[in-house]
Amino acid sequence: ESVAPSNFLRTIIDDDLKSGKHGSIVTRFPPEPNGYLHIGHAKSICLNFGLARDFGGRCHLRFDDTNPAKEDREYIESIKESVRWLGFDWGEHLYYASDYFQQLYDWAEYLIQQGKAYVEDLSAEEIRAHRGTLTEPGKESPFRNRSVEENLTLFRAMKRGDFPEGSRVLRARIDMSSPNLNLRDPVLYRIIHAPHPHVGDSWRIYPMYDFAHGQSDAIEGITHSICTLEFEDHKPLYEWFLDNLPVPARPRQYEFARLNLTYTVMSKRKLNELVTQRIVGGWDDPRLPTLMGLRRRGYTPASIRAFCERIGVGRGDSWIDMSVLEECLREDLNERAPRVMGVLKPLKVVIDNYPEGQVEEFEAANHPQKPEMGSRTVSFSRELFIEQDDFMQEPSKGFFRMAPGKEVRLRYAYIVRCTGVVSDDNGVVTEVHCQYDPASRGGTAADGRKIKGTIHWVSAPHAVAAEVRLFDYLFNDANPDRGGVDYKQFLNPDSVEILTNCKLEASLATAGSDTQVQFERLGYFRTDSGDSRPGRLVFNRSVTLKDTRAK
């Protein structure tokens, strides 16, 4: 992989190291374990782990697990698996914000002692109403001036579980007229009577994300806390906590633009909805932008890392077209995927002048430009399958494949001339008859005549049966998540096409659970990790050979 292009964060880190502000850098990737990781998270993973790698620092994997109501061990495990799969290693540095709950609690009491936090009895709705708007200052709560003693007593009772969920919160006492709404006495703790996936049932109150994040960064000695731009408005609060608490270090927050990708949705809430409403087959459905889905589809870690490099890191809001991601996969698989022949929609071909029972072996290169990838033999016989689309009874202008009276080259084998067809009662061609030119072995005519078309084929008696799944975008609108409308109205009803009668060359009989190949002329395919078995092969098309969508 090439050296990462520069970006504003690299410049900042370079300066911080040169000036001696930091001896080495520490970054973190901080997912909340409330869903599976998606391609947007990959941007953050590649950025944070990539910076640590390139500047000789380290990157922590930290679970930002402050809301047990939505979090689950299943997600923790899948996140670890996805980060590893992408090719990154946190080494010893696996952390959970929940491991800091006692420290965070102590800091909350500290703020109370300093008169900088209070227990609020107003309801969530009343708090919202008091908060004001961008143009209107907020109103102070009647509970804002409770004594330190009363606040401590109430907060400790909250911690013991004496109050029902939602009845009280702890708020910072900052400034109800701040132009930044985040500073208008933000909530620090809420009561949730739910066990926690990592720390079990030891807590009845849980810190808010904002109260946990910066302090966790400080505890871990994070130097550059890199987040997406939505958190820019939270930065003054991030800094207020660091200024007002006896934290052991002073991390700094930097923001970058999140990845927006066309023809998909990335919010975990919507992905969750697609999964739980069974609109897709699961979190690893090959049509989803989750890392598990992309993996099942056939995306390689290298292709996703290349994509993250290509899109770069900036502060301007931008949309990336799905075709950019697809092109990164194409480029990677073009290098590494062996070529094979497979027929997705078979049409039988009989070569009438080829001796019955005879079989010839042709040597086929596994990669046209890479002799080091070796070769295999493909069997040729009197009965073959070709692609239905490679035959036309009345060929249109420019059609150089199989048609009555015309010659076409069978890849690696012979030139054949179509002599007739067999049709069913509806006039559908069910069988094509040909004569082969025995002097064209290997595909070159002895007399030098030019044959324009070359098609792929599979020997019928040697063919391996398979199911093949072809995918299209899950949505038929470039921006289904634009807001104001239900994104589900843009679901593409034709996002998957299942072909159950495919015929593959015999070398694929032994295809394993992660076989990746190019079916010549058709695209790159991978065995489906969920459903493919020896004797019942299932392939997913990862990507077509060319971007065939109209621009």
List the catalytic residues.
32, 258, 268
Two tokens, residue 68: 């047990």
- The least distance separating ligand ATP from the CB of residue 409, rounded to whole angstroms, comes to 47
Tokens 């970006």 -> residue: 7
Residue 41 or 168 having the CB closest to ligand ATP:
41
* 48-87 footprint of ligand ATP as x/- string (CB under 6 A): ----------------x-----------------------
Binder among 86, 108, 183, 266 for ligand ATP (CB under 6 A)? 266
Measured over all CA atoms, what is the biggest interatomic distance in the chain, rounded to whole angstroms? 103
Say whether 40 counts as a known binding-site residue. yes
Q: How far apart are CA 498 and CA 471, in angstroms?
A: 9
- The least distance separating ligand ATP from the CB of residue 33, rounded to whole angstroms, comes to 8
- Determine the residue type at 358: Q
Residue 342 or 480 having the CB closest to ligand ATP:
480
Binder among 76, 108, 183, 259 for ligand ATP (CB under 6 A)? 259
DSSP SS3 for 203: coil
- The least distance separating ligand ATP from the CB of residue 254, rounded to whole angstroms, comes to 11
- The least distance separating Mg ion from the CB of residue 64, rounded to whole angstroms, comes to 7
- The least distance separating ligand ATP from the CB of residue 326, rounded to whole angstroms, comes to 18
Instruction: Put the strands of the sheet holding 346-351 in their side by side order.
Output: 454-455, 407-410, 415-423, 429-436, 346-351, 383-387, 458-459
Say whether 209 counts as a known binding-site residue. yes
Residue 255 interacting entry, from Mg ion, ligand ATP, none, C-beta within 5 to 8 Å by type: none
Residue 266 interacting entry, from Mg ion, ligand ATP, none, C-beta within 5 to 8 Å by type: ligand ATP
Closest listed residue to residue 346, CA positions, set 317, 385, 390, 320: 385
Q: How far apart are CA 251 and CA 524, in angstroms?
A: 45
Say whether 43 counts as a known binding-site residue. yes
Give the footprint of ligand ATP on residues 18-37 (CB under 6 A).
30-32
- Residue 60, beta-bridge partner list: 28
Check binding of 258 to ligand ATP (CB under 6 A). yes
Q: How, if at all, do strands 523-527 and 516-519 pair?
A: antiparallel
Two tokens, residue 296: 């099942």
Check binding of 44 to ligand ATP (CB under 6 A). yes
Check binding of 289 to ligand ATP (CB under 6 A). no
Give the footprint of ligand ATP on residues 94-123 (CB under 6 A).
none
Say whether 292 counts as a known binding-site residue. no
DSSP SS3 for 416: strand
Give the footprint of ligand ATP on residues 183-222 (CB under 6 A).
none
- Determine the residue type at 151: N
DSSP 8-state secondary structure symbol assigned to residue 3: P
Using CB under 5 A as the criterion, which residues of the chain lie in contact with Mg ion when the complex forms? 32
Q: How far apart are CA 286 and CA 297, in angstroms?
A: 4
Residue 16 or 32 having the CB closest to Mg ion:
32
Residues 6+ apart with CB under 8 A from 225: 27, 28, 213, 214, 217, 238, 251, 252, 253, 254
Say whether 492 counts as a known binding-site residue. no
Binder among 268, 287, 339, 526 for ligand ATP (CB under 6 A)? 268
DSSP 8-state secondary structure symbol assigned to residue 24: S
Q: How far apart are CA 77 and CA 358, in angstroms?
A: 54
Q: Return binding residues for ATP.
A: 32-34, 38-44, 228, 258-259, 266-268
Q: Return binding residues.
A: 32-34, 38-44, 64, 209, 228, 258-259, 266-268
* Site residues for ligand ATP per CB under 6 A: 30-32, 40-41, 43-44, 64, 227-228, 258-259, 266-268
